[in-house]
Amino acid sequence: MSDIIPSTFSVWDTILSQYANSPALKQLIANANTYLDPAPNIVSFYDLVWNVDTAVGWGLDVWGRIVGVSRVLQIATVDYLGFTGPIGASGITFNNGIWYNGQSVTTNYALLDDPYRQLILAKAAANISDATIPSINQILLGLFGPGTTLEIPGNNYVSDGLDMTIVYNFGSALTPIQTAIIYQSGVIPRPCGVLATVVA
């Protein structure tokens, strides 16, 4: 991205003509220009932090704080018999789930850079969304659509129940990571006063 740094400045224009043929002075100026040139640092900052499409690691963490979404998700580790509790970790029926014994049922999971970038872009869109069906569908497409690292195969869309309810429809079963994104991250908007349910 060196094109973002103007290259119109020439250090040789700053040398007085009487010193233009001094090899020692010219070498000192060339060395100082190389050591003090901020262009490589500015380009690196732009690529690794400022540009969300190319940012990595800490740069994406900064973007996450700006838009309000965390890299770390709580992933369910065990299903147990129950009626309430963390989504994806309760409500299992008899003969399928165990009684909850008080142990931890979730673990921290840090997203890699590419899925986290998708989450950041979806959250940025959600922050300015009007929470209409078309805008929510666009966010779902960008987050879980074909070709994305968080892709959910099949049709993923939201439908309006026309009775102050909406349904998020997903074309296939959700992984624990996708479940955590849908229920915990706050990325998928829900209109105020509207009951939302998820069908997968």
Tell me which residue of 156, 150, 152, 154 sits closest to 138, measured CA to CA.
156
Question: What is the domain count for the chain?
Answer: 3
| 76 and 123 inside one domain | no
| 144 and 192 inside one domain | yes
Q: pLDDT > 90: what percent of the chain?
A: 29
Residue 168: C-alpha distances to residues 137, 142, 144, 176, 193 (Å): 9, 15, 12, 17, 16
pLDDT at 125: 92
| 174 and 155 inside one domain | yes
In this structure, is residue 65 part of a structural domain?
no
- The residue among 115 and 36 whose pLDDT is bigger is 115
Tell me: the pLDDT tens digits for 146-196? 888 888 888 889 998 889 999 999 988 888 888 888 888 888 888 888 888
| 120 and 88 inside one domain | no
| 189 and 116 inside one domain | yes
pTM for this predicted structure: 0.72
Range of the domain at 18: 2-41
Q: How many CA atoms lie within 13 A of 175 on its CB side?
A: 10
| 175 and 194 inside one domain | yes
How many residues does the structure list for the chain? 200
Burial of 117 (0-12, 13-18, 19+ CB in 10 A): buried
User: Residue range 84-113: average pLDDT?
Assistant: 67
